[in-house]
């Protein structure tokens, strides 16, 4: 990766990604970490060296986590799974009051931010191309609401995630099995079966939304879940989760010295 391209990615991080994370992410501790990282980036005059970048990330995650992240996963065992966790949690911050541009709804901004992250930082080019095509084709109901709210944004990503699960099932060795998520064991209320047939069902999207909130709201969130249970959470987004690893892992993506 050449120096110019790396500088462009850091500019994207500074101008597009970190400001949105700071504005909407439901984990207030993570917002503070991201805000500190943004402040450090903006204070550097000229190009950021690799040593400076690593020093900046020291305040977010230890170097051992960044060089060998597998030992630090709490709920995933690979980067792709963790990245989805980060995206799902970001959609649940759409309800926060923020200083996002008034001409776009927070839902639209979050959707665009997820696309930008995939395009600029996802390590699988083919995966990124599939994502962008689906996004641009309005897959999973993305274009069905002029100003998507939190529920619309969260359910759009959930549908999109299931589309990806279905498309990649064969290459993951899953043949002839239901790949839809959440499974019936993970969420007993999410599926409504017809005629008692196990594979004949529709998703109850209100129940799915409750499941997403209960799963992805961090304990340090300053947003109250809208679901009836108000419980917290099955997935905790703290210092050892993708909310931080998604930034800390960038030096592994930017493999060239800069």
Written as one string, the DSSP assignment of 184-226 is: TTT-TTSEEESTT-TT-EEE-HHHHHHHHHHHH--TTBSS---
> What domains, with CATH codes, occur in the chain?
7-218+238-253 (1.20.120.310)
Q: What's the pTM?
A: 0.83
**pLDDT for residue 164:** 94
pLDDT tens-digit readout, 81-103: 778 888 998 999 998 766 676 56
pLDDT tens-digit readout, 142-156: 998 888 999 999 999
**pLDDT for residue 229:** 45
Q: Which residues, at least 6 apart from 135, have a Cβ–Cβ distance to it below 8 Å?
A: 111, 115, 142
- DSSP3 helix / strand / coil % (the chain, rounded to 5): 55, 5, 40
Of 60-74, 112-126, 222-236, give the lowest mean pLDDT range.
222-236
> 49 pLDDT exceeds 90?
no
**pLDDT for residue 258:** 45
> 235 pLDDT exceeds 60?
no
pLDDT tens-digit readout, 155-198: 999 999 999 999 998 787 788 788 899 999 999 999 998 876 66
**pLDDT for residue 73:** 59
203's tokens: 């998703």
Which of 242, 227, 224 is CA-nearest to residue 97?
Answer: 224
Share of the chain above pLDDT 90, in %: 32
Give the mean model confidence (pLDDT) for residues 207-235. 63
Average pLDDT of the chain is 78
């Amino acid at each position: 990766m050449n120096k110019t391209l790396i500088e462009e990615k850091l500019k994207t991080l500074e101008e597009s990604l970190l400001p949105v994370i700071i504005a909407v992410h439901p984990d207030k501790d993570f917002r503070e970490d991201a805000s500190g990282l943004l402040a450090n980036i903006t204070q550097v005059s000229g190009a950021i060296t690799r040593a400076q970048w690593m020093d900046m990330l020291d305040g977010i995650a230890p170097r051992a986590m960044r060089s060998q992240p597998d030992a630090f996963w709490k709920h995933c065992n690979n980067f792709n799974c963790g990245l989805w966790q980060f995206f799902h949690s970001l959609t649940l911050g759409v309800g926060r009051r923020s200083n996002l541009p008034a001409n776009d709804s927070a839902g639209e901004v979050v959707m665009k931010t997820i696309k930008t992250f995939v395009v600029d930082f996802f390590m699988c080019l083919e995966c990124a191309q599939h994502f962008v095509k689906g996004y641009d084709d309005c897959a999973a109901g993305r274009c069905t609401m002029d100003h998507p709210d939190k529920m619309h944004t969260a359910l759009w990503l959930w549908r999109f995630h299931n589309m990806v699960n279905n498309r990649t099932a064969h290459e993951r060795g899953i043949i002839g099995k239901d790949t839809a998520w959440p499974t019936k064991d993970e969420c007993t209320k999410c599926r409504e079966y017809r005629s008692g047939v196990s594979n004949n069902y529709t998703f109850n999207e209100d129940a799915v939304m409750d499941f997403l909130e209960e799963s992805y709201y961090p304990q340090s969130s300053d947003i109250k879940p809208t679901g009836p249970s108000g419980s917290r959470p099955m997935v905790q987004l703290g210092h050892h989760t993708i909310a931080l690893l998604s930034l800390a892992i960038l030096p592994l993506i930017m493999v060239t010295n800069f």
